[in-house]
Chain A
Amino acid sequence: MKSILKMFFIFMKIGTFTLGGGYAMIPLIEEEIVQKNQWIGQEEFIDIIAISQTIPGAMAINTSTYIGYRLFGFKGAVLGCVGTILPSIIIMIGIAVYFIKFQEVEILKTVFKGIRPAVVALICSAVLRLSKTLPRKFLHLSWMLLTVICITFFQIHPIWIIIISGTMGFYLKEYV
């Protein structure tokens, strides 16, 4: 069943459990929207991430807004975006109101110490699943590795890599 309300609650759930920045949201969205509900295919999901990277702003918000729009039009875009940010807004206001001194709560520190390595595992598992959609060709694998090298060692901004890759795809139609 594809209902807009269900999508809203899925994005609220995702927003609640995303710790450690936008990329940590990718495995959650992939699990819920692509695998479990199959509302969007894996290749299209990769394309949506690419589009989200080329637009300014938080990637998580861009991705959920796009998915909302793709599924339910403008109303979906609003609910996708609001669903993702609502848990954060509520939690942050709660923290600001009661002025909880987070760093002084020892147990939260240890919780966070456990979650950060898990975020690495989560993102890696998403990479593993998403890479299965790529054609098993030398060009694609080397291009993927080149991207990793460019970003990790040369700090090239992702937006340039997306623009160059898109241009390559356009001119090398027969090969990609």
Chain B
Amino acid sequence: MSIIGKIFLTFMKIGAFSFGGGLAMLPLIEKEIVYRNNWVTPDQFVDIIAISQMTPGPIAINTSTFCGYKVGGLLGALAGSVGVAIVSFCLITILAKHIIKRKDNPSMKAVFKGIRPAVVGLILSAAISVGKTALVDVKSIIICLIIFFMLVRLKIHPILGIIGAAIMGIILY
């Protein structure tokens, strides 16, 4: 099989079997591209993760695009990113179709009503988990509080918040 096909199938497998998105995908990606296919060395993999986390977008897409490029050039990059997204894309469209059709069904409504508090809790847990690694000193806590105040009280756009935080990072660090 051509290398492009192999990249596509490998990342399709990664996309299909990782629940919980992004960071949950990393062990699976590591196993496939470092140990099974030997496309990148363990050191390179660490670099790729660091870069993927510092660049915008979902980590899974960033990692697959970068690895795909290293192994198969431009076509490899596309094969990697499309591969990692294709399974969830198909599942979501099928699911969306059925859920939207039944959105007025009382049982369906009850199920979602039960899920809603949990989802808010889930998002809060994500904030805690990011906070554990991001809020490491006084400066980072100050940045977090200022941005939070600006978002909630002054209702600034989140993108403005991110740009503001980037500027504060340059000034404070």
Interface residues of A (CB under 8 A from B): 13, 15-28, 31, 43, 46-47, 49-53, 55-62, 65-66, 69-70, 74, 77, 81, 84-85, 87-89, 91-93, 95-97, 102-103, 107-128, 130-131, 133-134, 140-141, 143-148, 151-152, 157-159, 161-162, 164-170, 172-173, 176
Residues of B within 8 Å of A49, CB to CB, are: 119, 122-123
Greatest chain B CB density within 10 A among A51, A53, A55, A57 is at A57
Are the CB atoms of B123 and A96 closer together than 8 Å? no
Instruction: Select A120's contact among B85, B93, B120, B134, beta carbons within 8 Å.
Output: B134
A sample of 9 inter-chain contacts (CB < 8 A) reads A31-B157, A46-B116, A49-B123, A77-B96, A84-B58, A88-B57, A95-B55, A120-B131, A127-B120
Give residues 109-159 of B contacting A (CB, 8 Å): 110-131, 133-135, 140-141, 143-145, 147-148, 151-152, 157-159
- Interface size range on B against A: 35 or more
Please provide the 6 A-B residue pairs with the shortest distance between their CB atoms, ordered closest to farther: A169-B114, A114-B169, A88-B57, A57-B88, A147-B121, A118-B165
B170 in contact (CB, < 8 A): yes
Interface residues of B (CB under 8 A from A): 15-23, 25, 47, 50-62, 65-66, 69-70, 74, 77-78, 81, 84-85, 87-89, 91-93, 95-97, 99-100, 106-107, 110-131, 133-135, 140-141, 143-145, 147-148, 151-152, 157-159, 161-162, 164-170, 172-173
CA distance A128 to B158 in the complex (A): 14
Are the CB atoms of A77 and B141 closer together than 8 Å? no
Grouping DSSP codes into helix (H, G, I), strand (E, B) and loop, the A interface class, with mixed when no group exceeds half, is: helix
User: Given contacts A147-B125, A159-B20, is CB(A57)–CB(B140) below 8 Å?
Assistant: no
Are the CB atoms of A91 and B123 closer together than 8 Å? no
User: Given contacts A61-B58, A96-B77, A110-B169, is CB(A167)–CB(B114) below 8 Å?
Assistant: yes
User: Given contacts A27-B158, A47-B115, is CB(A56)–CB(B126) below 8 Å?
Assistant: no
User: Given contacts A89-B81, A110-B169, A146-B121, is CB(A55)–CB(B107) below 8 Å?
Assistant: no
Residues of B within 8 Å of A169, CB to CB, are: 110-115
